[in-house]
A = this chain, B = another copy of it.
């Protein structure tokens, strides 16, 4: 795959041989395939595009997403607080459109991420995203995590669920001692209900992570910003 960037900074991820059709004209798949990263290709209307190798950030940017998809900063923070890396064994629920799944797959590769999604329609979107970007180290199961967890000895469990507290009883077996539960919720009321079941057995903290963009040339923050994504609870199983 190749990443093309137009002069407005818009990104296009192209499969090998695929032609790109844009408002600036058409770029032939053969030209794209022949271009080295860092080179430029030209459309049939003479407009130039930079060519790069796509990375995980591009995949996440360009994946099909639902309205509530996690943002990159929350992904980075969740992974940092969970302390996971290559070969960690992690479970995620729910998958949603699979963006965070893709990020986790990138982090733990060559290990496989296990992800549960209860809704067929979401699972279908996620599968398409995995296929489109060639993400192979994912095992997606359509199942309800409130009913139980079919893994054990996990290093970390990542939740993005309406009722995360209902998963905690299943972690007695599934999560290794010292492992991390990381839960993401839009409402502080969800964090509170999770908090209520974590007492005893977990060391935990709850926080939100707020990203504020700046215009460095103006030495001024952006006028508009995302004011809220989610509350994160990071909990370590200590016994």
Which A residues fall within an 8 A CB radius of B? 3, 5, 9, 37-38, 40, 50, 52-53, 55-57, 72-73, 75-81, 83, 85-87, 103, 106-107, 109, 176-178, 186-189, 191-192, 194-196, 203, 205-229, 231, 233, 236, 238-239
A3 cross-chain contacts in B, Cβ below 8 A = 178
A80→B103 contact, CB < 8 A: yes
> With A109-B86, A210-B212, A220-B188 in contact, is A72–B80 under 8 Å at CB?
yes
Chain B's closest residue to A78 (CB) is B76
Taken together as a complex, chains A and B put the C-alpha atoms of A76 and B74 apart, in Å, by 9
Taken together as a complex, chains A and B put the C-alpha atoms of A194 and B216 apart, in Å, by 9
Task: Report copies per complex.
Answer: 4
B86→A85 contact, CB < 8 A: yes
A219 cross-chain contacts in B, Cβ below 8 A = 187-189, 192, 219
Taken together as a complex, chains A and B put the C-alpha atoms of A53 and B179 apart, in Å, by 9
B223→A214 contact, CB < 8 A: no
CB distance from A233 to the nearest CB of B (A): 7
CB distance from A197 to the nearest CB of B (A): 11
Residue from A176, A178, A239 whose CB has the most chain B CB atoms within 10 Å: A178
Which listed residue (B79, B214, B218, B226) contacts A76, Cβ 8 A? B79
A209 cross-chain contacts in B, Cβ below 8 A = 73, 77, 209-212
Task: Give 9 A-B pairs besides A195-B217, A206-B213, A224-B224 with Cβ atoms closer than 8 angstroms.
Answer: A52-B238, A85-B107, A85-B109, A86-B87, A191-B216, A206-B214, A213-B227, A223-B227, A225-B227
